A and B are shown apart, each in its own frame.
Chain A
């Protein structure tokens, strides 16, 4: 990949261990994410990748370890706090608001930026309307960026899978996040859809300077996009480094790349 200068560390997880009952899902995981980079997490199914993202944005609370975000070290993140601090994400299994249109789903992504109170919204005319128009402009920029103008008013439940993934990305972008967590954004897509999604990920990173943590199975995509890669295998951290280095790592070849996935 192209040579890039990575910024300072924005997120560091250190010694993270997470168990559900007797099952240990993450075992002493440590890595950092630098400003402006695309950081990938790879590993076979059940390796603990999604759980790792859940630890980062506070859905799961690890039994051990610390998370340092924006210079503050904590034992665990809280979901609301993570959102308020600029962490947004998409889900492996799409988690859109099925009964709402594309537009409303993405508008909802801006909820933390809305200042008018319930009474002002009930009256609507005045502050609430001004704000709605302001945020609508921003959301239309995202709609243009993701090329989903045609499905603006469609209820998302009716959209094909690939489009739903795009809308979900749009909802995350609407928050103007500093750190974007993408959980298998290209899974289940055809080649063309994958190419589009790759382009979006790169553009988000380039144009908005958003730091991205990416979970992806397609090795070609991972090697192309990533600045650095963490490899997990059944809760253990096998390797961490630039794509070329990880690809050459014997433990990784044995445990993951050697096995057809």
Chain B
């Protein structure tokens, strides 16, 4: 019995309310952070850092945002891409209009602006629910992308259509965006932000506001009767969720791709992030990360795996397989395990806790 909570009697509520109450879980988390901050930047190739870890972290942040809204507060949204685009364009406008602004200020402000837009689109959620709300958020997705394409003001009237994020540094010449930024700097910068926001989100969902979100999700009329106000509670979910999605969009455009283009945030992006939280686990912080890892890594795995086995499969076949695997998994998780990979991980731990004795 290496993994157990027995003998770890919690003598204070403070200890019992900690994020990770089991000692081994805490070790695991610290180990994970050491690996993420020290080992990965040392051992990873530029390719891994720049094209796998970066999008993974940024998409995990967006998935975290959507999971607050959909997984915790129960408001289904298909507008994630639109909110990410809002963050990206807000960052672009801020960074070009006020070049002296620090990158952190730019990113936080774009999150704030996106939160405002999210609040606006969240107002109808008081009246419409479920399927109709999903359609309304889908409409906001199309509207936002149309707006960014339509009005030249957002792209500073660039004629080429390609707009690049300006180089910006954290301090001195430690650039985190633009051509001078190293993959390590970009990775560590993004990782730090994502870890901080994940911690913040965990704090919210284990506090009163998180319980209010889940209460609204599970039974809104009972929630109202114990004094929870619908509109502010839902709007806080929309606001905070779009805040995170906006920051993810800004990071995507500035740190990852280096260019701001609406196409990166089309409706496919919204669905991709929704699939992440379905596969990773609705209403779980870790689920956002597991789902993002899964969806980023699966295509890479599928395109490499045949070679390992000496098979030769055509590229278009691989993309067909990818679609089929996603489809099957999503149906599986929706029907069998709505709490996703995070729940499977939980079950594994429960088994481990009892091991080697079955009872």
**Which stretch (A24-32, A91-99, A207-215, A222-230) binds chain B?**
A91-99
Do most interface residues of chain A lie in helix, strand or loop, or is the interface mixed? Answer: helix
With contacts A97-B215, A121-B203, A133-B14 taken as known, whether A109 is within 8 angstroms of B226 at the C-beta atoms is: yes
Output the nearest chain A residue to B283 by Cβ-Cβ distance.
A99
Where the two chains meet, the residues of A that have a C-beta atom closer than 8 Å to any C-beta of B are 57, 59, 79-80, 82-84, 88-89, 91, 95-100, 104, 107-109, 111-112, 114, 116, 118, 121-124, 128-129, 131-133, 136-137, 140, 171-172, 175
Rounded to whole angstroms, the CA-CA distance of A57 and B224 in the bound complex is 11
Q: Say whether A59 contacts B207, CB under 8 Å.
A: no
Complex CA–CA separation, A57 to B222 (angstroms): 12
> Is B203 in contact with A124, judged by CB distance below 8 angstroms?
yes
Are A97 and B204 neighbours in the complex by a CB distance under 8 Å?
no
Q: Which 5 A-B pairs have the closest CB atoms?
A: A83-B227, A121-B207, A95-B222, A124-B203, A97-B218
B93 to chain A, nearest CB (A): 26
B236 within 8 A of A: yes
* Shortest Cβ gap from B176 to chain A (Å): 24
Query: CB distance B227 to A112 under 8 Å?
Result: yes
In the complex, are the beta carbons of B207 and A124 less than 8 A apart?
Answer: yes
Instruction: Determine if B215 and A100 form an interchain contact, defined as CB atoms under 8 angstroms apart.
Output: yes
A112–B13 CA distance with the chains assembled, in angstroms: 21
Instruction: Report yes or no: A99 in contact with B224, Cβ–Cβ below 8 A.
Output: no
C-alpha spacing A132/B17, complex, angstroms: 8
- Check if B217 is an interface residue, CB within 8 A of chain A: yes
CA–CA, A88 and B223, complex, Å? 11
Residues of A contacting B219 in the complex (Cβ-Cβ under 8 angstroms): 95-98
Give Cα A100 to B222, complex, Å: 14
Q: Select B226's contact among A111, A118, A123, A136, beta carbons within 8 Å.
A: A111
Contact A111 B211 (CB under 8 A): yes
Shortest C-beta distance, B154 to chain A (Å), equals 30
Closest Cβ of chain B: how far from A155's Cβ, in Å?
10
Identify B13's interface contact among A80, A88, A89, A136, CB under 8 A.
Answer: A136
Q: Is the CB of B13 within 8 A of A128?
A: no
Q: Which residues of A contact B217 (CB under 8 A)?
A: 97, 99
Q: Measuring CB to CB, which residues of chain B are less than 8 angstroms from any residue of chain A?
A: 12-14, 16-17, 200-201, 203-204, 206-212, 214-215, 217-219, 221-229, 236, 240, 283
Residues of A within 8 A of B227 (CB): 80, 83-84, 111-112, 175
Residue of B nearest to A82 (CB): B225
The reply to whether A104 and B208 contact each other, CB–CB distance below 8 Å, is no
Task: Check B203–A114 contact: CB distance below 8 A.
Answer: no
List B contacts of A175 (CB < 8 A). Answer: 226-227
Q: Nearest CB to that of B12 among chain A residues?
A: A133
- Contacts A88-B226, A97-B222: A122 and B200 contacting too (C-beta < 8 A)? yes
Give 30 pairs: A residue, B residue, CB < 8 Å, sorted on A.
A79-B224, A79-B225, A80-B227, A88-B226, A95-B219, A96-B218, A97-B215, A97-B218, A97-B219, A98-B219, A99-B218, A100-B214, A104-B214, A107-B211, A108-B212, A111-B212, A111-B215, A111-B227, A112-B226, A112-B227, A116-B208, A121-B208, A122-B201, A122-B204, A124-B203, A128-B203, A129-B17, A131-B208, A133-B12, A175-B226
Q: Which residues of chain B come closer than 8 Å to A111, judged between CB atoms?
A: 208, 211-212, 215, 226-228
Residue of A nearest to B16 (CB): A136
A100-B211 in contact (CB<8A): yes
Please, which residues of chain B bring their CB within 8 A of the CB of A59?
A: 221, 225
Q: Tell me whether A91 and B14 are in contact (CB under 8 A).
A: no
Most central of B210, B219, B225 by chain A CB within 10 Å:
B225
B17 in contact with A133 (CB, 8 Å): yes
Q: CA–CA, A140 to B222, complex, Å?
A: 22
Give the docked Cα–Cα distance between A26 and B300 (Å): 66
A177 closest partner in B (C-beta): B226
Note all chain B residues with C-beta closer than 8 A to A108.
Answer: 211-212, 214-215, 223, 226, 228
Instruction: Give, as a whole number of angstroms, the nearest-CB distance from A32 to chain B.
Output: 22
Q: A residues within 8 A CB of B206?
A: 124, 132
Query: What A residues does B215 contact at CB under 8 A?
Result: 97, 100, 108, 111
Q: Is the CB of A118 within 8 A of B17?
A: no
Does B203 lie within 8 Å of A122, measured CB to CB? yes
* Nearest CB of chain A from residue B34's CB, rounded to whole Å: 22
Chain B residues closer than 8 Å to A107, beta-carbon distance: 208, 211
Query: Are B214 and A99 in contact, CB atoms less than 8 angstroms apart?
Result: yes
- Chain A residues lying within 8 Å of B236, measured Cβ to Cβ, are 118
Given the interface contacts A80-B224, A121-B207, does A98 sit within 8 Å of B14 by beta carbon? no
Q: Which residues of A contact B240 (CB under 8 A)?
A: 118
State in angstroms the CA–CA spacing of A98 and B338 once bound together: 14
Contact A129 B212 (CB under 8 A): no
Contact B13 A121 (CB under 8 A): no
User: In the complex, which residues of chain A have a beta carbon less than 8 angstroms from the beta carbon of B208?
Assistant: 107, 111, 114, 116, 121, 128, 131
Most buried by A among B13, B16, B210: B13
| A83 x B209 contact (CB < 8 A) | no
> In the assembly, what is the distance between CA of A171 and CA of B240, in Å?
27
Please give 17 more A-B residue pairs, beta carbons under 8 A apart, in addition to A91-B222, A99-B283: A89-B225, A95-B225, A98-B219, A100-B211, A104-B211, A104-B214, A108-B215, A108-B223, A108-B228, A109-B226, A111-B212, A112-B226, A121-B204, A131-B208, A132-B13, A136-B16, A171-B226
For the complex, give the distance between the alpha carbons of A137 and B210 in Å.
19
Alpha-carbon separation in the docked complex, A102 to B223 (Å): 15
Q: Which A residue sits closest to B17, measured CB to CB?
A: A132
CB-CB nearest in chain A for B197: A122
